[in-house]
Amino acid sequence: MQTIIEVKNLARHFRVGSELIKAIKQIDLSIQQNEFVALMGQSGSGKSTLMNILGCLDTPTDGTYTLNNHQVSELRDNDLAEIRNKEIGFVFQTFNLLPRSTALENVMLPLVYAGISKEEREERALTALDKVGLADRVNHRPNELSGGQRQRVAVARALVNNPSIILADEPTGNLDSATSIEIMALFQDIHKNGNTVITVTHEENIAQYAHRIVRLKDGEVESDERNQNPTL
């Protein structure tokens, strides 16, 4: 199985005044193609910092990060932005949809940055919205959609570029329990279709949908275990 993510001796330090904050001390981590992984940890564990590095939103202080055979540890901002757009589909807790744009327009947005023609953008966005069960909501704006539907639009947007990984940051944080179950079932379907899914969460019940759970504590990997009985 192909290795999608390879992290070695990863560290991320921040200086706040005269104090050096070691958000990530030293982490080794490999994630294979078509894994469904949950990154867990309480506030201050380093999971958000690790997510930012995995999502090419930040670079490490030390160590290396290889994403789908791209050495991204030392890339400049413009190169990081290009890798993000091609290799990573993001799903955020707050949806991050453009309020005045339709569902279709929101999903098409990453393809605009990728230089895809308008006709192909629309075709691929319609296909992505159909995959998440929103074929009948393509012309609705976010304020015309429920929270669960907004998150489905965000998932469709994450899928539209056929990325190497789907990176979901607290994807159910703003949803009620019933809708959270629907969204996590959607991620399971995405995983079954061959995508690599990484979800970042502090909620144990959400992590249990994943097939592998990596727990962080004080900037280090506390445990890395297979989930023998993932929630179905």
Domains and CATH numbers, the chain: 35-60+76-226 (3.40.50.300)
Q: What tokens does 39 get?
A: 């990154």
Task: Look at 115 and 214; give whichever has higher pLDDT.
Answer: 214
Q: What is the pLDDT confidence band of residue 124, given thresholds at 50, 70 and 90?
A: very high
What pLDDT score was predicted for residue 76?
83
How much is the pLDDT for 38? 97
Gap between the terminal Cα atoms of the chain: 24
**pLDDT of the residue at 75:** 83
pLDDT band at 79 (very low <50, low <70, confident <90, very high): confident
Q: Which residues of 115-142 are buried (b: 16+ CB within 10 A; e: fewer)?
A: ebeeeebbebbbebbebbbbeebbebbb
154 band by pLDDT with thresholds 50, 70 and 90: very high
Backbone angles phi, psi at 133, to 5 degrees: 80, 25
Q: What is the mean pLDDT of the chain?
A: 93
Mean pLDDT of 66-94: 88
pLDDT at 43: 85
Of residues 115, 128, 144, the one with CA closest to residue 89: 128
User: What is the band of 85 on the pLDDT scale with cuts at 50, 70, 90?
Assistant: confident
**DSSP characters for 26-55?**
EEEEEEETT-EEEEE--TTSSHHHHHHHHT
Q: Locate 14 and state its tokens.
A: 């921040």
| Residue range 185-211, pLDDT digits in tens | 999 999 999 999 999 998 999 999 999
Q: What is the predicted pLDDT for the residue at 80?
A: 87
**Model confidence over 30-51: pLDDT tens digits?**
999 999 999 999 888 999 999 9
Q: What is the pLDDT of residue 12?
A: 96
CA 162 to chain centroid: 13
The sign one gets for the Cα dihedral 112, 187, 46, 225 is negative
Q: Count how many Cα atoms sit within 13 Å of the Cα of residue 133 in the half-sphere of its side chain.
A: 13
Position of tokens 């929270």?
147
Can you name the residues that pair with 225 across neighbouring β-strands? 213
Q: Amino acid letter at 77?
A: D
Q: Look up tokens 């940051």; give the residue.
A: 169
Of 23, 26, 14, 13, nearest in space to 63 by CA: 26
CB neighbourhood size of 28 (10 A): 13
